[in-house]
């Protein structure tokens, strides 16, 4: 089998990160998406441009050869998967159930042809245990048909024939401005960062060599590092930057009120990760130094509203803010700086974000303490709850935190 890869999802992660890595590794890449103008552009050109930007330089990289298929072209997608040596999903967690039938059809076609080469699928979704969840979705689709010859069940076949691999995506890829998309729907602007940690145990058979891909054994540590440092840091910049009236993340990073809170929150997360996972503190501090350098990328122009959107999801008990605070508590500290991030999320009232509107409706009807308990699983009377409520009140009453 020649080196062919299928990426389900041609958006920010699929086209803006995976496509580059797979192409640089020698794969012919087929993208699958619902965006017809984008797929038409990829199919007609056979390549696309990634623009790598930071504060020092801009570089354009041509990614190819590639092609594209629309998601409703089920037979062609199944055929592409049947021929693939590697695959990935980057569709968003809510869309996984829609692509599971496509992946199942591709696997069934491989079995029908007697292919004995494993297919590994890297599941690039912002969802805890995404690989296991997607595997179960695909298994349910396959279970409607007879098990492959020589196997008692489809589950037995997947165990040795298809790998479902967890990963964490660190590259920052903001939305393309509408005027640039009108000029070229396939263009994508990204930061140069290109590390892709993956869970070694998820692979079946030989791990394929991919530029930037780093198979890791203790993968829960890398998940925690991404969620409680990168994601938590972005959320704090988003929510507190919004209160200070900024439009872009790097502006909030430079703010004299926001930056000390961010720095304190990241240190609280570091202490918690060290306590829970036994990570090397120096390794985490070096990662934070690199994160702060990347957060300062003016050329990327990451919008505050992108960093802050969907506050109900980001306030969940195990997500980037509350989860980080709970981990920090394992270091025997009250995470007062992370509490500011939680408070900022509770106060986020951007009218353009329907989830923020829903959150504010609930606070108005139920009260802040009730929402804190119901959404975040934080008791208002515990030390963390008191710290959050104190910060929330300060955001509401202190003039410096009133949006301008």
Burial class (CB in 10 A: 0-12, 13-18, 19+), 349: middle
> Does one domain contain both 142 and 224?
no
Contact 134, 102 (CB under 8 A): no
Report the chain's C-alpha Rg in angstroms.
Answer: 22
Burial class (CB in 10 A: 0-12, 13-18, 19+), 313: middle
Per-residue CA distances from 352 to 301, 305, 308, 349, 365 (Å): 19, 9, 11, 9, 20
Question: Smallest Cα–Cα separation from 328: which of 210, 200, 229?
Answer: 229
pLDDT per residue over 42-82, tens digit each?
Answer: 999 999 999 999 999 999 999 999 999 999 999 999 999 99
Distance between CA 375 and CA 77 in Å, rounded? 39
Per-residue CA distances from 380 to 333, 335, 359, 366 (Å): 17, 15, 17, 14
Q: Which of 188, 217, 246 is the last residue of a domain?
A: 217
What b-and-e string marks burial along 16-25, b requiring 16 or more CB atoms within 10 Å of the CB? Answer: bbbbbbbbeb
Rounded average pLDDT over 329-343: 98
Determine the pLDDT at residue 116.
85
Distance between CA 305 and CA 96 in Å, rounded? 25
Strand-pair partners of 197: 214
Determine the pLDDT at residue 403.
78
Per-residue pLDDT at 1 exceeds 60? no
Distance between CA 300 and CA 52 in Å, rounded? 9
Q: What is the CATH classification number for the domain harbouring 374?
A: 1.10.1040.10
> Does one domain contain both 65 and 24?
yes
> Does one domain contain both 211 and 298?
no
Determine the pLDDT at residue 176.
84
Contact 164, 126 (CB under 8 A): no
Domain hosting 112: range is 4-217
Determine the pLDDT at residue 35.
96
> Does one domain contain both 371 and 355?
yes
Question: Smallest Cα–Cα separation from 304: which of 231, 235, 230, 358?
Answer: 235
Determine the pLDDT at residue 361.
98
Determine the pLDDT at residue 149.
92
> Does one domain contain both 39 and 115?
yes
> Does one domain contain both 199 and 315?
no
> Does one domain contain both 316 and 386?
yes
Rounded average pLDDT over 271-294: 98
pLDDT per residue over 7-29, tens digit each?
Answer: 999 999 999 999 999 999 999 99
3-state DSSP helix/strand/coil % of the chain, to nearest 5: 55, 15, 30
Query: Tokens 């394929």, residue?
Result: 208
pTM, 2 dp = 0.92
pLDDT per residue over 232-256, tens digit each?
Answer: 999 999 999 999 999 999 999 999 9
> Does one domain contain both 263 and 376?
yes
Contact 202, 131 (CB under 8 A): yes
> Does one domain contain both 193 and 234?
no
Q: Which of 161, 193, 217 is the last residue of a domain?
A: 217
Question: Smallest Cα–Cα separation from 163: which of 117, 94, 125, 195?
Answer: 117
Determine the pLDDT at residue 152.
96
> Does one domain contain both 190 and 172?
yes
pLDDT per residue over 148-197, tens digit each?
Answer: 999 999 999 999 999 999 999 999 998 888 898 889 999 999 999 999 99
Determine the pLDDT at residue 115.
85
> Does one domain contain both 360 and 262?
yes
Q: What is the CATH classification number for the domain harbouring 52?
A: 3.40.50.720
Determine the pLDDT at residue 198.
98
pLDDT per residue over 94-144, tens digit each?
Answer: 899 999 999 999 999 999 998 889 999 999 998 889 999 999 999 999 999
Determine the pLDDT at residue 81.
98
Determine the pLDDT at residue 174.
85
User: DSSP letters along 84-124, please?
Assistant: -SEEEE-S-GGGHHHHHHHHHHHHHHHHHTT--S-EEEEE-
> Does one domain contain both 171 and 196?
yes
Q: Which of 184, 217, 250 is the last residue of a domain?
A: 217
Whole-number percent of the chain with pLDDT over 70: 100
Per-residue pLDDT at 293 exceeds 80? yes
Domain count, the chain: 2
Distance between CA 190 and CA 116 in Å, rounded? 37
Q: Supply the mean pLDDT for the chain.
A: 96
């Amino acid at each position: 089998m020649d080196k062919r890869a299928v990426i389900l999802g041609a958006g920010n992660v699929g086209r803006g990160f995976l496509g580059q890595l797979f192409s640089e590794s020698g794969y012919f890449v087929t993208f699958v998406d619902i965006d017809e103008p984008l797929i038409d552009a990829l199919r007609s050109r056979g390549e696309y441009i990634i623009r790598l930007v930071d504060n020092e330089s801009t570089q354009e990289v041509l990614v190819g050869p590639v092609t594209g298929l629309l998601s409703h072209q089920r037979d062609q997608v199944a055929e592409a998967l049947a021929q693939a040596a590697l695959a990935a999903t980057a569709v968003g967690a809510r869309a996984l159930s829609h692509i599971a039938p496509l992946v199942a059809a591709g696997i069934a076609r491989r079995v029908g042809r007697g292919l004995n080469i494993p297919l590994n699928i890297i599941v690039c979704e912002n969802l805890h245990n995404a690989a296991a969840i997607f595997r179960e979705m695909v298994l349910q689709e396959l279970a409607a048909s007879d098990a492959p010859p020589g196997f008692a069940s489809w589950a037995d076949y997947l165990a040795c024939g298809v790998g479902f691999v967890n990963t964490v995506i660190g590259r920052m890829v903001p939305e393309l401005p509408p005027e640039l998309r009108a000029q070229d729907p396939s263009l994508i602007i990204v930061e140069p960062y290109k590390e892709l940690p993956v869970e070694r145990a998820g692979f079946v058979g030989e791990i394929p060599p991919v530029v930037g891909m780093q198979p890791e054994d203790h993968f829960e540590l890398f998940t925690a590092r991404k969620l409680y440092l990168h994601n938590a840091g972005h959320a704090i910049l988003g929510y507190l930057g919004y209160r200070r009236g900024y439009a872009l993340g790097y502006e909030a990073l430079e703010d004299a009120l926001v930056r000390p809170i961010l720095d304190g929150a990241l240190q609280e997360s570091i202490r918690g990760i060290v306590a829970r996972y036994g990570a090397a503190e120096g390794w985490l501090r070096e990662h934070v130094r690199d994160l702060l350098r990347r957060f300062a990328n003016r050329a990327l122009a990451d919008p505050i509203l992108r960093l802050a959107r969907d506050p109900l999801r980001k306030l969940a008990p195990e997500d980037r803010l509350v989860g980080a605070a709970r981990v920090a508590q394992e270091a025997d500290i009250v995470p007062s700086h992370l509490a500011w991030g939680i408070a900022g999320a509770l106060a986020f009232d951007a009218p353009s974000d329907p989830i923020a509107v829903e959150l504010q409706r609930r606070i108005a009807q139920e009260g802040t303490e009730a929402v804190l308990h119901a959404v975040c699983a934080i008791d208002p009377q515990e030390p963390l709850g008191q710290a959050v409520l104190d910060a929330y009140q300060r955001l509401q009453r202190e003039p410096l935190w009133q949006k301008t």
